[in-house]
Amino acid sequence: MKKILTIFLFLPFGLYSQGFYAPIISTFHGIINGSINPDSISIKDSITIFINDLKYSNAKVMGFTVNTSGAGYDAWFDNIGNKLSEESYNAIKNCPIGKTIWIEEIKIKKDSAIIETNNIKLKLDGLKACVFANPKERDYSFLSFIDTNSRRVVGTVPIYISGVISKKALIKNDYLLIFNPEFEYGNPVRPFIQITEYCITLIYKNKTTKSFQENSDKISLKIKKAIRKSKNLREIFIDKIKAIDTNGKTIKIQSLFLDII
């Protein structure tokens, strides 16, 4: 059986466009600095090295470190060879969407010498929660696939990742929905993925907070009342968001940060 090597001679044009040129370039999924959906990452994935100088053609990856401190976890995971360890794989899968991880200390062996190559920066990308700045200006509506008697109304001007919204507009949103990344070509939300739980934290001007845990996509009357009566409310942070699709698969959703005016 032929042995498949994760070494490529000559650097593809796409990597030149990222501003890199060196005898050896390390990538993960072809990425040096960019976004990746963690659902696409497998425990069988490995570091791929691209060779620009034929004298390095026998080089191979001896090990590397996965650094998840950029994702809020102060942890480093060592990996032997070019493949992800089970510990590193699990750490990446457990990191929140929207956070950054680093692959560092990539050690390359060439003959008897050990050299280090570039670090790799990965932004974990995925689906995002959203609310609407104009929730009552109806775009369309759809039925929940979890409870087919319940209808979700889609407003206009979706706010996702972060944005500014008034208290009045926010409490007119009845549900936390999933933003459609192909919005400019179609619907602003994904109707076949539904949030099943989230945590919402109200942050006040005196830096005190109040949190609510919800086990559905509904923005409950309890939350709306707390928002409406909060005179010193400054920000709202919605995280720990989980959703399911029509097949019952659990999907992590990126957090949402709102400045309140």
Is there a domain that residue 34 lies in?
Answer: yes
pLDDT at 71: 58
Q: Tokens representing 186?
A: 């179609």
Q: What is the mean pLDDT of residues 92-117?
A: 90
Q: Work out the angle at residue 232's Cα, subtended by the Cα atoms of residues 156 and 212, and round it to the nearest 5 degrees.
A: 65
Domain check: are 53 and 132 in the same one? no
Q: Which of 124, 147, 164 is the last residue of a domain?
A: 124
Give the other-Cβ count within 10 Å of 122's Cβ.
Answer: 25
Query: Considering the chain, what is the average pLDDT of its residues?
Result: 87
Domain check: are 64 and 137 in the same one? no
Tens digits of per-residue pLDDT, 156-202?
999 999 999 999 999 999 999 999 877 766 678 999 999 999 999 99
Domain check: are 160 and 245 in the same one? yes
Residue 220 identity: S
Domain check: are 17 and 117 in the same one? yes
Is there a domain that residue 147 lies in?
Answer: yes
Q: How confident is the model at residue 136 (pLDDT cuts 50, 70, 90)?
A: confident
pLDDT at 132: 95
pLDDT at 70: 63
Report the range of poorest mean pLDDT among 13-17, 122-126, 202-206: 13-17
Q: Which of 96, 124, 152 is the last residue of a domain?
A: 124
Domain check: are 72 and 176 in the same one? no
Give the other-Cβ count within 10 Å of 29's Cβ.
Answer: 15
pLDDT at 73: 60
Is there a domain that residue 76 lies in?
Answer: yes
Q: What is the mean pLDDT of residues 117-130?
A: 93
Is there a domain that residue 1 lies in?
Answer: no
Range with the largest mean pLDDT of 51-55, 146-150, 244-248: 244-248
Domain check: are 48 and 36 in the same one? yes
Tens digits of per-residue pLDDT, 222-233?
999 999 999 899
CA dihedral sign of residues 129, 135, 139, 143? positive
pLDDT at 221: 96
Query: DSSP 3-state assignment of 121?
Result: strand
User: Where is pLDDT greater, at 253 or 57?
Assistant: 253
Query: DSSP 3-state assignment of 45?
Result: coil
Domain check: are 140 and 118 in the same one? no
Measure the CA–CA gap between 152 and 109, rounded to whole angstroms: 56
Find all residues with CB under 8 Å of 79, minimum gap 6, and list them: 63, 64, 65, 66, 85, 88
Domain check: are 142 and 91 in the same one? no
The percent of residues above 90 in pLDDT, for the chain, comes to 63
Q: Tokens representing 39?
A: 């659902």
Measure the CA–CA gap between 15 and 259, rounded to whole angstroms: 37
Q: How confident is the model at residue 239 (pLDDT cuts 50, 70, 90)?
A: very high
Q: Which of 124, 144, 176 is the last residue of a domain?
A: 124
Phi, psi of 222 (to 5 degrees): -65, -45
Query: How many domains, the chain?
Result: 2
User: Where is pLDDT greater, at 140 or 6?
Assistant: 140
Q: How confident is the model at residue 58 (pLDDT cuts 50, 70, 90)?
A: confident
HSE at residue 121, side-chain half, CA atoms within 13 A, is: 7
Contact, 62 vs 110, CB < 8 A?
A: no
Domain span including residue 155: 128-260
Cα-to-chain-centroid distance, residue 116: 28
Is there a domain that residue 2 lies in?
Answer: no
Is a pLDDT exceeding 90 seen at residue 208? yes
Tens digits of per-residue pLDDT, 1-35?
333 344 444 444 344 444 445 788 999 999 999 99
pLDDT at 22: 74
Is there a domain that residue 150 lies in?
Answer: yes
Domain check: are 109 and 171 in the same one? no
Q: Say which CATH number the domain at 95 has.
A: 2.60.40
Domain check: are 168 and 139 in the same one? yes
User: Where is pLDDT greater, at 71 or 67?
Assistant: 67
Domain check: are 61 and 135 in the same one? no
